[in-house]
Amino acid sequence: MVARAARAADLADLDAGVSDCFACPRLVEWREEVARTRRAAFRDQEYWGRPVPGFGPADARIAILGLAPAAHGGNRTGRIFTGDRSGDVLFAALHRAGLANQPTSVAADDGLTLRDIRIFSAVRCAPPDNKPTPQERDTCAPWLHREVSLIRPTLRVVVALGAFAWAAWWPVLRQVYGLRPPSPRPVFGHGAHWSGTAAPDLLGSYHVSQQNTFTGRLTPKMLDDVFDQAKQLAGVD
């Protein structure tokens, strides 16, 4: 898996490799079990049931780094943040920011396109209880590192959704940019901002999960502010 990630020539090649990964037995078992049993509301749909690749243009100036696909969202539809409540919130915000052509993301063939932004996750398979292990994060890291390498020429800002994604970014500095991560690590928080001299700026946002959006911990205005700042830092109109 490490070798296949490293030799991916472009994003299409990388995405194909991601979709065919079987490196983590627990995640493979879970994603396939969910795809077999299905949620009642989707019983007539065929689930993707595989790792979920990134989504967005190769010349993105902004990246969104999430935790992992949702069991009945990305794991069902085959596209990150698609077909679940988290995606409803995220893509509505991206549409308001002028970074998506429509405010909804319900299926891989729904016509959604992104401008100046690419979305990917630290772990590419849906994990039980939405909780990947540190070992699974580290096993999956070569996919993340190669994806960032491929969009490095244009990438200016990374928005980390949640503390897990925030922590997953620091090894990227060493593996992709050849930089020593800051010590001590900057603390995650909504609106947190770290700026390096030879790497993309990093912005923190609470995750767009229902636990945050339904309780008011993350509001549309808070999310809009993060993307407004990301656009400003990235030089996106």
Instruction: Give pLDDT tens digits for 20-73.
Output: 999 999 999 999 999 999 999 999 999 999 999 999 999 999 999 999 999 999
Residues paired with residue 202 on neighbouring β-strands, in sequence order: 158, 194
What is the per-residue pLDDT across 158-178, written as a single tens digit (0 to 9) for each?
999 999 999 999 999 999 999
**How far is the C-alpha of 233 from the C-alpha of 224, rounded, in Å?**
14
State the chain's mean pLDDT as an integer.
97
For residues 224, 82, 209, 193, the Cα torsion angle rounded to the nearest 10 degrees is -40
- Please, are residues 196 and 157 in contact by the beta-carbon 8 Å criterion? no
Q: CA neighbours within 13 Å on the CB side: how many for 76? A: 22
pLDDT band at 102 (very low <50, low <70, confident <90, very high): very high
Structure token digits, residue 67 = 């935790």
Segment 186-207 shows an average pLDDT of 96
Q: Are strands 117-121 and 157-161 parallel, antiparallel or unpaired?
A: unpaired
pTM of the model: 0.97
Q: Write down the pLDDT at residue 83.
A: 97
Nearest to 163 by CA among 128, 104, 125, 204: 204
Question: Using an 8 Å Cβ cutoff, are 63 and 165 in contact?
Answer: no
Q: How many CB atoms lie within 10 A of CB 191?
A: 12
Taking only the tens place, the pLDDT of each residue in 45-58 is 999 999 999 999 99
| pLDDT band at residue 122 under the 50/70/90 scheme | very high
CA angle 208, 211, 217 (to 5 degrees): 75
